[in-house]
Amino acid sequence: MSQFDISRRGLLMAAGAMPFVGSACAATPSDKPARWAMVGLGSFAVGQIMPTFAHTKHSKMTAFVSGTPSKLQEQGAKYGVTHHYSYDNFDDIAGNAEIDCVYILLPPGLHAEYTIRALKAGKHVLCEKPMASTAAECEAMVAAAKAANRQLGVGYRVHFEPNNVEALKRFKAGEVGALKHVSGKAGFEINPNYGPHKWRLDKEIGGGGSMYDIGIYALNGGLMFVDEAPQSVSAVYTYDRNDPRFAEVEGGVDWKINFASGLKVEGQSFYTGSYVTRQVVDGAGGQIVLDPASSYDGVKASLQKAGAASQAISAGESRQQFAAQIDGFSLAALGNTPHRTPGEMGWRDLRLIEAIYRSADNGGQTVKV
């Protein structure tokens, strides 16, 4: 039994009972699409990911994996997908030449196990965020991808969302000057009686709290604008420690990432307030604001140069992010070239999140990374 097999049955049962809600590459486009297996048919997969394949150019669904036979039958009939697997016979995908890529759409507690199994089966893997429950699991996933000579990506879709991409392009073009500060805010009010929320409060299934689920958007999105390595972090918890919802996971944390240049990227993550995803990038000569920054739809961006009125940045419909992310990974797989959001990025983010929790556990003490 591997270290990732612990409580496997319990995690799978929880994943089935509670639907899962929840980015370009150098490869040359191919006339042959990459063929995908969807692992986990929860609400995020069914509601967001699977419908978007109709809008992809280099991707095709050919297999489904679920522990619920009725889901396999229903979704198989809907999309004309005839290759069906359960979690018990998942490793049989190794013998299916009609699967090139696997999308891991399970809760975080299952990411490492099924990513590693898919890589050992010879498939390229795109894993939803957060990459895993621990940095050690991420390290093992990256090692498995290297051993298998396969691509490993993390589902950081904002790297493919057109308005985020345009904002980054404008920033790199120097439209707001040298970077001075980045801040982010991401959170929502969690309801323990609502199925898609309930599993997030279970540490074994959900990973560890708001930073794993929603705060990671502010962290990863902020780092998208930074071209240097983090040096240290500090953080404090910002939730009522007596709130019964948070017996296992944190419900809110304010965090700061420090860099050798003096730059700081900071943010707020929470499960205790109104929904928000906001990113602010301050430069010497202006500011870029994304609000909302990481929603499925309706992302809005604006740019304000010093002394000038704010200008909207509009580069396309936000929902394009799903198809762009999938096609981006398909091209990476077909060319066996690195993906825009590789496993190493997910591993970095988990190291930072673990350091944030260590700091908060110690009253805000600075933790080197």
C-beta neighbour count of 14 within 10 angstroms: 19
Tell me the HSE value of 362 on the side-chain side, using a 13 A CA sphere: 10
> What does the alpha-carbon distance between residue 297 and residue 302 come to, in Å, rounded to a whole number?
16
> What does the alpha-carbon distance between residue 278 and residue 221 come to, in Å, rounded to a whole number?
10
Is residue 129 flagged as an active site residue? yes
Is residue 57 flagged as an active site residue? no
Residues belonging to the chain: 369
Contacts of 348 (CB under 8 A, 6+ apart): none
> What does the alpha-carbon distance between residue 299 and residue 162 come to, in Å, rounded to a whole number?
9
Contact 159, 199 (CB under 8 A): no
Catalytic residue among 71, 123, 129, 256: 129
C-beta neighbour count of 31 within 10 angstroms: 5
Cα dihedral 96, 68, 109, 157 in deg (nearest 10): 70
Catalytic residue among 87, 156, 212, 217: 217
> What does the alpha-carbon distance between residue 361 and residue 364 come to, in Å, rounded to a whole number?
7
The residue assigned the tokens 């759409």 is: 105
User: DSSP strand E in 225-325: where?
Assistant: 230-237, 252-259, 264-270, 276-283, 286-290, 301-305, 311-313
**∠ at Cα 314 (283, 189), nearest 5°?**
80
- Give backbone dihedrals phi and psi of 28, rounded to 5 degrees, phi first: -85, 135
Catalytic residues: 129, 217
